[in-house]
Each structure stands twice: as structure tokens, then as C-alpha cells.
Amino acid sequence: MAATDKKANTQPVPRHIAIIMDGNGRWAKKRGLPRTAGHAAGAEAFRRTANYCRTLGVEYLTVYAFSTENWKRSADEVAGIMKLLGKYLEEALLDMEKNHVRFKFFGDLTRLSPELQKLCQDAQERSAQYHEVQVNFCLNYGGRDEIVKASAAFAADVAAGKYKPEDLTEEVLSGYLYSADVPDPELIIRPSGEMRTSNFLLWQSAYSEYVFLNVLWPDFGPKDLDEAIAEYHRRNRRFGGV
């Protein structure tokens, strides 16, 4: 698809874009459909967006697929989300030679079914050779939980004699995060009209530019991504300077 904003297409795109995929339930409710239908439509929006990011030359796309708080939803809705994720990963494994997408998973996968854990592991291992675009799925993920787990891992290494407590720096702790070796996102997009971070990439987003859009995630498309990138380029990123 062609970009709809020349400025977004001619200036360098952010190297790393992250998206809070929000609004599936409201999209379904507006249409008198079950919430699972919204998640199915949201999965198609993800496909569109991931493909478009690849054509733009985005190196990293991180998406908030399922949070540590999402387990509070109904069992039927959670099961529907997990089924969709499994279906997507099965298709991705079949299409890897064509799409060349590298997969990474941020979050505690141990709570997932053994079958879904294996799909995640297979997708991550079999796609490691690809370098066009890396998609990071935040699955059973929470920003606070990530920092707690990273801190605990560092403390364990201190107890094992690998570090001293005074060795802890931002760089050292970053190496214990799920996103170790992944650059922080320059741009974080949240569709659906909500204006909060919802425990997403709390450490990594310290200097990210947030763009909030009034489109529900299932309706999100290339023009919305272009709009967000154009807004990103209008920002003056000072990183604490003048």
C-alpha cells in the first residue's frame, strides 16, 4: 500500500516502533459482536501493520499482545485470544521463508499452555536467521513485572558472586530485561483514544515519543501509522537537554 503522508515517507522512519493494540472489545461492541470477533479483527490489523512496517524499513516492531493484567478477563475471552495467537504463529511458521520476520517474545511464557509455549519457542528459534524486521510480542507481559524479574536476576548473580551490588548501573540492569540487545522504541503508538501507558515498556519508554490516536485498533491501517510517524517527526527530541 502507498503511504498517505509524504513527510512520513521521505524522512527516516523510527528504527523501533511499539504499539499498544487497544480497542478490540469496543470495536466489537459497537457492531453488536462478541469480544472475540474484535480480537480476530485486531489480529488482521496486526498483519497489516507488521507488513507495512516491513515495507517502510522499520527494524523493530513491539506489540502489546497480552498483559499480566489481562488474565482478569473472562475465561472465554482469554481462551479466544490464545487460540488466535496460536493460529497466527502456526501460519507464521509456514510463511517464514516468504516473510523473513524474526520473532521474539517479551514476558513470562510459563503461564501459557505447553502447546503455545512450544509454538513461541519454535517461532523464535526458526526465525533467528532473519534480519528484515524483528517483531517482539509482549505476551503475559507487564512493565513492572519485567523490572522486578530483572532485579531479582541481578540479585541472584550478586549472591552467586558474579557481581557486587555497587556494580548495578542502568546498562547492567537493561541486560536483564526481556528487551536486552533491542534498542529502546523511539515511537509508541496507542490507538483507541485512551491516554495512558498501561504498564507497557516502562523502562524502555523513558525517552520515547507517545502518539495517541482516536482509531480503534481493528480499524488501524497504514494511513494511521503514517500519521503517527509524521507527528513523531514534528517533535523536538531533546533527551533532557535544551
CATH code of 122's domain: 3.40.1180.10
226 as an active site residue: the answer is: no
pLDDT of residue 238: 67
Would residue 6 count as lying in a domain?
Answer: no
Q: Which domain holds residue 87?
A: 15-234
Which secondary structure element, helix H or strand E, spans residue 152, and what is its range? helix 143-159
Phi, psi (rounded to 5 degrees) for 135: -105, 120
Rounded to whole angstroms, how far apart are CA atoms 55 and 53?
5
* Biggest CA-to-CA distance, the chain: 59
Residue 183 CB contacts under 8 Å (≥ 6 apart), including other chains: 15, 16, 60
Number of domains in the chain: 1
Q: Which position has the grid cell 509524521?
A: 230
Q: Report yes or no on 242 lying in a domain.
A: no
Q: How far apart are CA 213 and CA 114, in angstroms?
A: 36
Per-residue pLDDT tens, the chain, 242 aa: give them: 444 444 445 688 999 999 999 999 999 999 999 999 999 999 999 999 999 999 999 999 999 999 999 999 999 999 999 999 999 999 989 988 888 899 999 999 999 999 999 999 999 999 999 988 999 999 999 999 999 999 999 999 999 999 999 999 999 999 999 999 999 999 999 999 999 999 999 999 999 999 999 999 999 999 999 999 999 999 976 666 65
pTM of the predicted protein model: 0.91
Identify whether 3 is part of a domain. no
What are 105's strand-pairing partners? 137
Do the domain assignments include residue 172?
yes
Q: Which residues contact 63 (CB under 8 A, 6 or more apart)?
A: 18, 19, 21, 46, 135, 136, 137, 138
- Asked if residue 86 belongs to a domain, the reply is yes
User: Which three three-digit cell numbers place residue 91?
Assistant: 501460519
Residue in the structure block whose three cell numbers are 524522512: 11
Residue 129 lies in a domain: yes
Say how far apart CA 78 and CA 162 lie, in whole Å. Answer: 40
Which of 9, 51, 70, 219 does the annotation list as catalytic?
70
Residue type, 105: F
Judge whether 9 lies within some domain: no
Catalytic residue among 5, 22, 184, 224: 22
The DSSP secondary structure of 95-116, one letter per residue, reads HHHHH-EEEEEES-GGGS-HHH
Active site residue 9: no
In a domain, 7, yes or no: no
Which residues on adjacent β-strands are paired with residue 102?
134
